[in-house]
Structure formats: C-alpha cells, structure tokens
C-alpha cells in the first residue's frame, strides 16, 4: 500500500518565498518556455495518442543536455515515420530493424523495441495511456503514488519483458523520486490557459500530482527550506509536494516551473 503523504514542513511557507515562487511561475509557465524543453516534442502533435507516446518517451529520455534529449526524440519521431501512433498500431516486424542502432545514454535498442511492443499491446486494447496509470489508483488518493506503482507493474508484465529495461521505469516501491514519470504526469494532467502543459487527462486531478525532483528543483527547494530530508527519494518528492500544497492545494506542481527556472538561472 502507498505510504501516507506526510511531511515535516511547517504549517506555512514564508511570504517572501511564496511571492518569489508565484513570480517565477508566471515568468516560466508561458509558451516561450516550450521550444528549448523536451516538452516541445509532444507539442509537435495534435492527436492525443501521439502526444501521449512522444510525451512519455521524451520524459523517459530526459537526462543530459536538453538539446541532446530533443534531438534524440526527433530521431525517434523520424524512425516512426513522423506518426508515432499510426506506426505503433500498424508496423510490421520488418519495420523494427531501423531501431537497432537507437541509443541514448543507457537506453538502447533492447529498451526501444520493448517500448514499441508495450505501446502496441496496450493501444490495441485501450484508447489512452491514462488508463495504464489509473489501474493502481483510487479517485480519492492524495497523490499518484498508486498510479506509479501500478503503471510500473503493468509495463513490466509482458512475457518478453527484458529485465534491463526495468531501470528506465521508476516506482515508489524502489524508493525512487520518479522524477521523469512525475514530469510526464504533469504534462498530461495540469490544465491552465498557458498551454505549456497539455491537460488532456481528466481522471487524475492536478492536486494529486507529485513534483518532479530534478537536480535544479531539488537544489533550489532545499535552499528555500521546502525540503528537509537529507536524501532525494520518494519521500523527498512527497515532502516537497506537501510544502507546495500549502501554497496551492489544487495545483501544487505548478511551482515546478518556478523551482526549475530558478535553478537554471543559477539562483543557488
């Protein structure tokens, strides 16, 4: 069972920190943030399933320089003939040979081929990838912990699953902060009028999201006193989100924009 979403933070965030985060959220949650971020990859598409597939892949490959991440994702789009969902549904075995040389850091052709196999198997039975995350989650859950656990177990369940691929799909069960999957969920779930995040999933609420703890976010959040836990793991992500929920209980993860922006500005 998911652990309680508890945190040792105080009952309030100092006003000057709240003002800073609100100001930076307004600065970075705007369309000109998109072109230089991996979220630009799913923004190339309008079909829901294309957005899901390439949003998922862009988030999983999101480590290293952003320019490199974007280029590797564009390579995948080209390998899928510019139409990810159509390729997933209709490709033949002979079409898979072109992926045998795809690699990004420790993500290799074995992982790529399994991702394609999982997507094909899933989309033959379901309309939206949201359903894969809903399997382990109740509507009244405080966070998406159960969704992440359930998705991991589903993703790793097919008969020909290569065990090496498990490292690319994080889960709170391994105490991971799940930063890439939390980022993907933010993209799919958050809704506002800025049109950076997509908001195409409606059965998970923005208030249930957990803040992605990348290196910039983690460093700035510690400096601002939003995190006290010494290590960075799942409970750290929960602690940070609990702090942000004090500022906006309905949409705490919107402050991911502010923390990330402060990080790349060199605030700390």
pLDDT in tens, 217-236: 999 999 999 999 999 999 99
Cβ–Cβ under 8 Å, residues 185 and 209: yes
Q: Give the structural domain span for 87.
A: 15-264
Cα distance between residue 180 and residue 62, in whole Å: 7
- Tell whether 212 is covered by a domain: yes
The token pair at 116 is 């394609």
- Tell whether 7 is covered by a domain: no
pLDDT of residue 4: 41
- Tell whether 207 is covered by a domain: yes
Number of domains in the chain: 1
Band of pLDDT at residue 248, cut at 50, 70 and 90: very high
- Tell whether 205 is covered by a domain: yes
Cβ–Cβ under 8 Å, residues 231 and 169: no
pLDDT of residue 11: 59
Does the pLDDT of residue 3 top 50, yes or no? no
Does the pLDDT of residue 6 top 50, yes or no? no
- Tell whether 172 is covered by a domain: yes
Does the pLDDT of residue 201 top 90, yes or no? yes
- Tell whether 45 is covered by a domain: yes
pLDDT of residue 22: 97
pLDDT of residue 8: 41
- Tell whether 209 is covered by a domain: yes
- Tell whether 3 is covered by a domain: no
pLDDT of residue 80: 98
The token pair at 252 is 């705490």
């Amino acid at each position: 069972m998911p652990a309680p979403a508890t945190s040792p933070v105080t009952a309030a965030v100092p006003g000057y920190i709240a003002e800073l985060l609100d100001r930076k959220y307004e600065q970075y949650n705007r369309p000109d943030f998109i072109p230089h971020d991996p979220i630009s990859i799913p923004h190339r598409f309008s079909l829901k399933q294309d957005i899901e597939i390439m949003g998922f892949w862009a988030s999983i490959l999101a480590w290293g320089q952003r320019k490199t991440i974007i280029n590797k994702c564009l390579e995948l789009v080209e390998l899928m003939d510019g139409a990810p969902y159509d390729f997933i549904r209709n490709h033949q075995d002979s079409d898979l040979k072109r992926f045998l040389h795809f690699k990004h850091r420790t993500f290799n052709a074995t992982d790529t081929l399994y991702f394609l196999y999982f997507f094909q198997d899933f989309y033959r039975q379901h309309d939206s990838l949201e359903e894969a995350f809903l399997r382990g989650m109740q509507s009244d859950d405080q966070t998406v912990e159960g969704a992440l656990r359930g998705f991991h177990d589903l993703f790793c369940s097919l008969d020909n699953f290569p065990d090496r691929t498990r490292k690319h799909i994080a889960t709170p069960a391994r105490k991971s902060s799940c930063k890439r999957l939390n980022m993907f969920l933010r993209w799919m779930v958050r809704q506002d009028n800025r049109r950076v995040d997509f908001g195409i999933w409606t059965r998970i609420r923005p208030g249930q999201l957990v803040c992605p703890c990348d290196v910039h976010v983690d460093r700035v959040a510690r400096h601002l006193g939003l995190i006290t836990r010494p290590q960075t793991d799942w409970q750290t992500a929960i602690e940070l989100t609990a702090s942000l929920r004090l500022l906006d209980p309905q949409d705490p993860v919107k402050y991911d924009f502010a923390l990330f922006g402060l990080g790349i500005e060199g605030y700390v």
